[in-house]
Amino acid sequence: MKFCQECGTRLNDTAKFCTKCGMQCETSDIEVETQNIEQTDFSKYYGLSFKDIFGKTIELTQQGVYIYRHKGVFLKFDNTIPYKSIININLSKPSLMYGCGYLSVVTANGGLSPDFATKAPMSSKASKALAENPNVIGFRKMSDIQAIYDALTIIMNG
């Protein structure tokens, strides 16, 4: 949708001049705002969720990535990571040796590097680190986490 900046007349999208006042046409503010709204509407991804192998749940919301876990008194957290705080999203595919992969939402304060699985063998200590890291989601099959990863990638690049 295009409007004349001089008189406000609605114009054909391909018009070079206003049909009412003759002013040369440029992209109007209204057109730019409409384009920005269309490019940043990620509402179809909000509500996607997944419960991981450690009992944590990740959900995409309008405010950000919501990760929560409630198990006992000491292993409890609720954390919403605003999209603008996310530096990177690392995905480690499940391997036959370790049996699980992980999705890490990297911020200035948390998350894991993409080579964590190759540098740190999946000992009980490493497994505990994954389970207790609020920015890390563990999974057994790529198909389990793929929709969340794809949506996060689109939101972060959008």
CATH number, domain with residue 58: 2.30.29
- Are 66 and 136 in a shared domain? yes
For 137-153, what is each residue's pLDDT tens digit? 888 888 889 999 999 99
User: Cα-atom radius of gyration of the chain, to the nearest Å?
Assistant: 23
- Are 58 and 28 in a shared domain? no
pLDDT at residue 16, rounded to an integer: 83
pLDDT above 50 for 83: yes
Which domain, by its residues, includes 13?
A: 2-39
**Phi-psi domain of 4 (left: phi exceeds 0; alpha: psi -120 through 50; beta: other):** beta
Total structural domains within the chain = 2
